[in-house]
Structure 1
Amino acid sequence: MGSCWKNNSLLLSPLCVSIYLTLMSSCLEAQALPLMPPKSKNTNPLLQAGQLPETRGRDTVDTSKNAAMLSLEVATNQLPLDSKAAPSAENSDLIVTAERRSENVQNIGSSISVLSGDTLTTRNVNNVFDLQYQTPSLQVTPQFGSGQPAFAIRGVGFNDYSSNNAPTVGIYIDEVANPVPFATNGMMFDIQRVEVLRGPQGTLYGRNTTGGAINYILNKPTDTYKGGLSVQYGRFNATKIDGYVSGPINDRLRFRLSGQTEQGGAWQHNEQGASLGRTNRSAARFLLDYDANDTLKLELNIHGSHDRSDANGLHLYAPMTALPGQTYPADQSRYMTHWGTSSAFAREVGIHPNTKPFSHIDTGGVSLRSEQEFSFATLTDIFSYDRMHRWEYDNFDAFNQGLADVAFKTNAQVFANEIRLTSNDTSRLTWVGGIYYAHQSLSDQYQSGFTDSPIYGTDGDVNYDQRVNTISGFGQATYHITPQLRVTGGVRIEHESRDLLNLTSHYITNGVITNPENGVAHRNTSFTKPTGKFEIQYNPVSNDMIYVSFTRGVKSGGFTTYNSQNDALSAEPFKPESLLAYEIGNKLSLPEAHLKLNISGFYYDYRNQQIQSATFNTMNGGMIGQIVNAPRSHLYGGEVEATWTPIPNFTLSQSAGWAVGAFDRFSSLGGVQKLADNAYAGIYVNRKGDTLPFPKFTLNGSASYRWTIGDFYLTTGMNYSRRSPYHSLFGSFYNVPAYTLWGADITLTPKDARWTVAVFGKNIFNKRYDVTRNFFISGDHVALAGMPATWGVRVSGSF
Structure 2
Amino acid sequence: MSIRKNMLFIGTALGAMAWSGAAVAEEPAGSPAGAAEAGVEELSGAEAEGQGAQAEGDATPESASEPADSSRKLGVVVVTANKREQNLNEVGVTAAVIGGPSLEQQNLTSLDQIATRLPSLSFAKAPNGTPVYTLRGVGFYETSIGAYPSVSIYTDEIPLPFPVMSTHTAFDLERVEVLKGPQGTLFGQNATGGAINFIAAKPSDEFEAGVTATYGRFEQRELSGYVSGPIADGLQFRVAGRAELADGWQKSSSRPGDTNGEVENYMGRAQLAFEPSDSLRFLFNLNGWAEKGETQSGQYIAQQFQNENIGVPYMLPVGAFRDPAILATPFAADNARASDWSLSSNLLGPGKVPFVDNEMFQASLRADFDVGTIGTITSLTGYTEFDQRQGNDTDGMALNALDVPLTLGDIESFFQEIRFANDPANPIRLVVGANYSTDKVSQDVTIDYANSSATLGFGSLFGFPLSLTTVSNSQDMSSYAFFGNVEYDVNDKVTLKGGLRYTKSENDTTICQSDPEGPAYPFGNVLKFFGTLYSGDAFVPYSPGECVSINVDSESPANTAVDYLAYGETGAYINSLDEDNVSWKLGADYRFNGDVLLYANVSKGYKTGSFPTITGSTLNQYVPARQESVLAYEGGIKATSLGGALQVNLAGFYYDYTDKQLRTKLNDPTFGQLDVLRNIPESSVKGVEVEVTARPVEDLVVNAAYTYLDAKVDRFIGTNAGGDPGIDFSGTEIPYTPENQFVISGNYTPSLTSSLNLLAGVTVSYQSDTIATLGGNINPTTVNATSVSCVYCIDGYTLVDAQLGVEASDGRWRAFIWGKNIGDEYYWSNVVSGYDTVARFAGNPRTFGVTLSYTF
- Aligned residue in 2 for 1:609: 660
Cross-structure match for 1:771? 829
SS of 1:182's equivalent? Answer: helix
Matches within 5 A, 1:745-756: 745-756=803-814
Aligned counterparts of 1:190 and 1:599: Cα–Cα separation in 2: 31
String of CA shifts for 1:147-171, please: whole Å, max 9, x gaps.
Answer: 2101100111111112221111000
* Kept after mapping to 1: 8 A contact 2:304/2:833: no
1:564 aligns with 2:586: no
Aligned residue for 2:491? 482
Any conservation in 2 of the 1:546–1:587 contact (CA below 8 Å)?
Answer: yes
Aligned CA distance change for structure 1 residues 623 and 773 (closer, same or farther; 3 Å): closer
1:685-723 superposed Cα distances (whole Å, 9 cap, x missing partner): 221111112211111011121121111111211111101
CA distance in 1: counterparts of 2:511 and 2:826, whole angstroms: 45
Hey, what does 2:287 align to over in structure 1? Answer: 303
- Relative to 1, partners in 2 of residues 1:574 and 1:341: Cα closer, same or farther, differing over 3 Å? farther
User: C-alpha displacement at 1:683, in angstroms?
Assistant: 4.0
Deviation at 1:126, TM superposition (A): 1.1
The answer as to whether partners of 1:505 and 1:563 remain within 8 angstroms in 2 is no
| Structure 2 Cα separation of the partners of residues 218 and 425 of structure 1 | 23
Task: Kindly indicate whether residue 97 of structure 2 is the aligned counterpart of residue 114 of structure 1.
Answer: yes
How far, CA to CA, are the matches of 1:737 and 1:624 in structure 2?
25
Superposition deviation, residue 537 in structure 1: 0.4
The corresponding residue for 1:731 is 776
Q: 1:689 aligns with which of 707, 718, 731?
A: 731
Q: Which residue of 1 aligns with 2:638?
A: 587
What's the counterpart of residue 266 of structure 2? 282
Q: In the comparison of the two structures, how many residue pairs are matched?
A: 716
Q: Say whether residues 1:658 and 2:745 are aligned partners.
A: no
More displaced 10-residue stretch of structure 1: 510-519 or 622-631 = 510-519
Cα deviation 1:331-370 (Å, max 9, x = unaligned)? 23431211116642334xxxx2x41412221011210000
Is the alpha carbon distance of 1:766 and 1:536 closer, same or farther for their aligned partners in structure 2, counting shifts above 3 Å? same
Structure 1 residues 99 and 344, CA gap change in structure 2 (3 angstroms): same
The one-letter code sitting in structure 1 at the alignment partner of 2:663 is Q
Percentage of matched positions with identical amino acids: 27
- Indicate whether 1:646 and 2:718 are aligned: no
Aligned equivalents of 1:234, 1:617: Cα separation in 2: 48
- In structure 2, give the amino acid aligned to 1:436: N
SS of match in other structure, 2:592: coil
Q: Which amino acid aligns with 2:260?
A: L
- Contact persistence 2:407–2:444 (CA under 8 A): yes
Shift of 1:66: 7.7
Aligned match of 2:164 = 182
Q: Given the superposition, is the C-alpha separation of residues 629 and 507 from structure 1 closer, same or farther in structure 2, using an over 3 Å criterion? A: farther
Distance 2:46 2:632 in 1: 30
Return closer, same or farther for 1:225/1:621 CA change in 2, 3 Å cut-off. Answer: closer
1: CA distance between counterparts of 2:547 and 2:696? 71
8 Å contact kept, 1:458–1:507: no
Residues in 2 aligned to 1:68 and 1:206: alpha-carbon distance in whole angstroms: 33
Q: Residue 218 of structure 2: SS of its match in structure 1?
A: helix
Which residue of the partner structure matches residue 740 of structure 1? Answer: 798
- Relative to the length of structure 2, the TM-score reads 0.80
Partner in structure 1 of residue 147 of structure 2: 165
Distance 1:202 1:216, change over 3 A: same
Instruction: Please give the secondary structure, in 2, of the residue aligned with 1:208.
Output: coil
The separation in 2 between residues aligned to 1:722 and 1:259, in whole angstroms, is 32
| Shift in Å, 1:315 | 1.3
**Which residue of 592, 597, 601 maps to 2:648?**
597
CA RMSD of aligned residues (A): 2.5
Asked if structure 2 preserves the Cα contact closer than 8 Å seen for 1:742 and 1:765, the reply is yes
The runs of at least 4 consecutive aligned structure 1 residues that moved more than 6 Å come to: 63-68, 74-82, 319-322
1:237 corresponds to which residue? 219
The Cα of 1:262 is off from its aligned counterpart by 0.2
2:701 is the alignment partner of 1:719:
no
Q: Counterpart of 1:629?
A: 679
Residue correspondence of structure 1 range 443-458 to structure 2 within 5 A: 443-456=442-455, 457-458=466-467
Distance in 2 of aligned mates of 1:127 and 1:513: 45
Measure, in 1, the Cα distance between the counterparts of 2:152 and 2:336.
32
Give the deviation of 1:453 after TM superposition: 0.8
Whether 1:707 and 2:707 are equivalent positions in the alignment is no
Partner of 1:6: none
Distance 1:78 1:579, change over 3 A: closer
Whole-Å Cα distance in 1 between the matches of residues 583 and 497 of structure 2? Answer: 14
Q: Does 1:92 align with 2:75?
A: yes
CA distance change for structure 1 residues 551 and 363 in 2, over 3 Å: closer, same or farther?
same
- The residue aligned with 1:134 is 117
Counterpart AA for 1:185: T
Residues 573 and 79 of structure 1: CA distance in aligned 2, closer, same or farther (over 3 Å): closer
Q: CA deviation at 1:265?
A: 4.2
Offset of residue 329 of structure 1: 2.1
Q: Secondary structure at the match of 1:203?
A: helix
* 8 Å contact from structure 2 (residues 292, 358) kept in 1: yes
Of the structure 1 ranges 106-115 and 328-337, higher mean CA displacement relative to structure 2 is found in: 328-337
Secondary structure of the 1:292 match is strand
Q: Shift of the alpha carbon at 1:305?
A: 1.3
How far apart are 1:771 and its partner, in Å?
A: 2.2
Aligned to 1:249: 231
Question: Which secondary structure state, in structure 2, belongs to the residue aligned with residue 167 of structure 1?
Answer: coil
Matches within 5 A, 1:61-460: 69=37, 71-73=40-42, 90-144=73-127, 146-271=128-253, 272=255, 273-318=257-302, 323-324=322-323, 326-332=327-333, 333-340=335-342, 343-347=345-349, 352=350, 354-374=351-371, 375-406=373-404, 407-456=406-455, 457-460=466-469
Letter of the structure 2 residue corresponding to residue 491 of structure 1: L
Secondary structure, aligned partner of 2:184: coil
State which drifts further: 742-751 or 256-265: 742-751
Distance 1:79 1:193, change over 3 A: closer
SS for the counterpart of 1:204 is helix
Instruction: Name the residue aligned to 2:61.
Output: none
Q: Mean Cα displacement is larger for which, 69-78 or 518-527?
A: 69-78
Cα distance in 2 between the residues matched to 1:159 and 1:176: 23
Q: Distance in 2 between matches of 1:369 and 1:80?
A: 20
Specify the code of the residue in structure 2 equivalent to 1:136: P
- What secondary structure sits across from 2:147 in the alignment? coil
User: What one-letter code is carried by the residue in structure 1 that aligns with 2:338?
Assistant: M
Check whether the contact 2:304–2:722 (CA below 8 A) recurs between aligned residues: no
Cα displacement (A) at 1:767: 1.4
CA distance in 2, matches of 1:164, 1:236: 33
Q: 1:50 corresponds to which residue? A: none
Conserved in 2, the CA contact under 8 Å of 1:467 and 1:500? yes
How far apart are the structure 2 equivalents of 1:335 and 1:89?
A: 44
**Cα contact 2:441–2:476 (8 A) shared by 1:** yes
Hey, what does 2:567 align to over in structure 1? Answer: none
Q: Unaligned regions of 5+ residues in structure 2, if any?
A: 1-30, 54-69, 306-318, 456-465, 529-545, 549-570, 778-789
One-letter amino acid of the structure 2 residue matched with residue 452 of structure 1: N
| Cα separation, partners in 2 of 1:260 and 1:207, compared to 1, 3 Å | farther
Taking the aligned partners of 2:402 and 2:345, their CA distance within structure 1 comes to 14
Give the AA of the match of 1:790. Answer: T
Which of 594, 600, 624 is 1:542 aligned to? 594
The one-letter amino acid paired with 1:543 is: D
Q: 1:428 to 1:740 in 2, by over 3 A?
A: same
Q: Per the alignment, do residues 315 and 248 of structure 1 end up closer, same or farther by CA in structure 2, a change over 3 Å counting?
A: same
Corresponding residue SS for 1:110? coil
Say if 2:508 is the partner of 1:499.
yes
CA contact (8 A) 2:617 2:671 kept: no
Partners in 1 of 2:443 and 2:106 — Cα distance? 36
Shift of 1:72: 2.4
List per-residue Cα deviations over 1:580-602 (Å, max 9, x = no partner).
10001001112526101111000
**Structure 2 Cα separation of the partners of residues 201 and 220 of structure 1:** 25
Q: Which amino acid aligns with 2:116?
A: Y
